[in-house]
Amino acid sequence: MKSKKTFWDQFRGWFIGHKSVESPDVDGIQVSEKDLVKLAACEKTLGYRFKDAKLLKVALTHTSGASYRLASNERLEFLGDAILGQIISEWLFCEFPRYLEGELTRIKSVIVSRKTCANVAENLKLQEMVIVGKGIDTQDPIPRSILSNAFESIVAALYLDGGYEAAQAFVLNCLKEDMLAMVAEGLPINYKSLFQQVSQREFKLTPVYKLIGERGPDHQKEFHVCAVVGDSKFESGWGNSKKEAEQVAALNALMSLGEIDDESMLSVHQTLNDRKEMQ
C-alpha cells in the first residue's frame, strides 16, 4: 500500500507540475455571517470541515453569482474534473484487474459524466447551497449543469484544502456504490470486442459467429450461436436476438479460455440484453 501511495504522489507531482499545490488566491473573497451558516450546512453534508472556508464558498459560486470572474468556481471545476478522473481511474484500475482498457474507459465515462455528477450533486442537495445570480436564482430547478460543475469544484476544493486523501474519500463515498451497482447490473461490457482482442492476441485470428439454430414463434424467437476461431469451436449460447446470442457465445469462449472466471457474469449480461431488447 505504501508503494502505491508513493507512485500516485509522484504521478500527481508530474501531472500538476510541482510536488505541492498551493490554494488559489482567495484573500479577496468575502464570507458573511449568512455565508457561514450555508457553508457550515454544506460541510456537514460533505462530512468535511474546511480549514479555509473561502475555498468552499468559491466552489459553490457560479459565475452569475460571483462579484468578479476569478471569484467563481470555473477554475476549481477545471481542476476538479482532472482530479475526479484520476480518482475514478485509480479505483477502477485496482478494483478490476482483469478488465481491459476499453472496458475501464467505458465505466469511467459513465461515472464522470455530467449526468452522474449532477445526480450526486442533487443527492447532496447542492441545489440548496450553490450561489447564483439574479435570473438563475429564480429557476426551479437549478440547471443541472450548474450542479455538475459545483460537484467537480468541491472535489478540487477538498483536494486543495485537505490533500488528495480528502478528495479521494469524498469521491469514493459518493460514487463507489454507484460504480459497483453499475458493474453488477451489466455496465456495457462488450464481450465480442473483448473476445476479438483475446483471439487476435492468442491466435492471430478474428473470431466468426455461426448461427446453429432458432426456436420459438416469430414474436419470441431465440437464436443459437457459437463462436469459431480457426478450427476451434467454443461453447454455444442462446439469446433473444442474434446480437445477444453472439455476446453470450463470446462470453462462453472467454470463460473457456480462462479470461473470465466468474460465471455469474453470464446472467448479468443476459439481464442487460433483455433490458436493451425492451427499450
- Is the CB of residue 84 less than 8 Å from the CB of residue 174? no
Residue whose entry in the numeric block shows the C-alpha cell 440548496: 128
Which residues does the annotation mark as catalytic? 81, 152
3-state helix, strand, coil in the chain (%, to 5): 60, 10, 30
List the grid coordinates of 165.
Answer: 486523501
The residues near 49 (Cβ < 8 Å, ≥ 6 apart) are 43
- Is the CB of residue 208 less than 8 Å from the CB of residue 234? no
As a whole number of angstroms, the distance between CA 17 and CA 160 comes to 15
